[in-house]
Amino acid sequence: MPNTALVTGASSGIGREFARYHAEKGGDLIITARRAAELEALKSEIEADHDVKVQTIALDLGSPEGAQELYDQTKGQEISILINNAGFGGHGAFTDRELATDLAMIDLNVKALVTLTHLVARDMAKRGSGKILNVSSTASYMPGPLQATYFATKAFVSSFSQALAGELKEKGITVTALEPGYVETEFAARADLDGTDLTKSGATPRSVAKYGYDAMRRGELRAINDGRLRFMLNWIVPWLPRWTVLKMVRRMQEKSV
């Protein structure tokens, strides 16, 4: 049975661990990100350790044709698992931030994810099987002052994923949203989050990838890897007044240094 996973954002962090974990399970891989050298290093490592094939595709998924180009380069291969993991965040007051950076964030976190899902899910629907894992965030549960655009992109990802799960179930496809809290990857430095309370303690990318991958295999709808956060977000935050939530989130994202 073909068992090929397409993993976006596989050159570092959670994406790299998805790729390693899938290979441990004996699955072939198509891995993509912009940094070709990191992808090649991962391919060599995985192919040395496991009896699987790894294809690398280095491209900018956030560019207007990125997702279509990626899909075209996978033509002829049966993708049984799609892991939409590539994404980035960005700290700062919305009006102080460069608009172009926030629009690029929407291009990658939202537009590329929607496009790639559309292309790959159609093939899965024709075959009557497939698994999709979209990497969202605990940020999807609330608005995020000082990371307004990022939180909104992840609210989109979780909403979109659940709606698709509702539509695609009858076609034999499951859709899972992985919603981690802080994870120790390159993400925080890239998003300029160092020095905020958010980055005080985090999970390892390996533990988060494994948790999300296993939840995807079981066909779960939403997966939060941390039990305390899961309880807070499902049972406390929805009952708090919105201004309290906004103040709380803003405080967590203010820099203490």
- For residue 8, the minimal CB distance to ligand NAP (Å) is 6
CA trace torsion 205, 206, 209, 213 (10° rounding): 180
Gap between the terminal Cα atoms of the chain:
53
According to DSSP, the β-strands at 54-58 and 29-33 are parallel
Look at residue 135 and give its three-state secondary structure: strand
Q: Is 190 in the site for ligand NAP (CB under 6 A)?
A: yes
Q: Is 182 in the site for ligand NAP (CB under 6 A)?
A: yes
Window 63 to 122, contacts with ligand NAP (CB under 6 A): 85-89, 108
Check 136, 140, 158, 161 and give the catalytic one. Answer: 136
Q: Would you give the binding string for ligand NAP spanning residues 9-38, x where CB under 6 A is met?
A: xxxxxxx-----------------xxx--x
Among 6, 23, 29, 61, contact with ligand NAP (rule: CB under 6 A): 61
CB 31 within 8 Å of CB 41? no
Check 71, 150, 182, 213 and give the catalytic one. Answer: 150
Q: Is 40 in the site for ligand NAP (CB under 6 A)?
A: no
Name the burial class of residue 193, with classes exposed (0-12), middle (13-18) and buried (19+) by CB atoms within 10 angstroms of its CB. Answer: buried
**How far is C-alpha 18 from the geometric centre of its chain's CA atoms?**
10
Window 148 to 177, contacts with ligand NAP (CB under 6 A): none
Pick the stretch among 19-27, 114-122, 166-174, 182-190 that binds ligand NAP (CB under 6 A). 182-190
Cα(30)–Cα(204) distance, integer angstroms: 23
- Which residue, chain included where needed, has tokens 């994202």? 253
Q: Which residue number, 183 or 233, has a Cβ lying nearer to ligand NAP?
A: 183
CB 46 within 8 Å of CB 237? no
Binding region for ligand NAP (CB under 6 A) = 9-15, 33-35, 38, 60-62, 85-89, 108, 135, 137, 180, 182-183, 185-187, 190, 205
Active site residues: 136, 150, 154
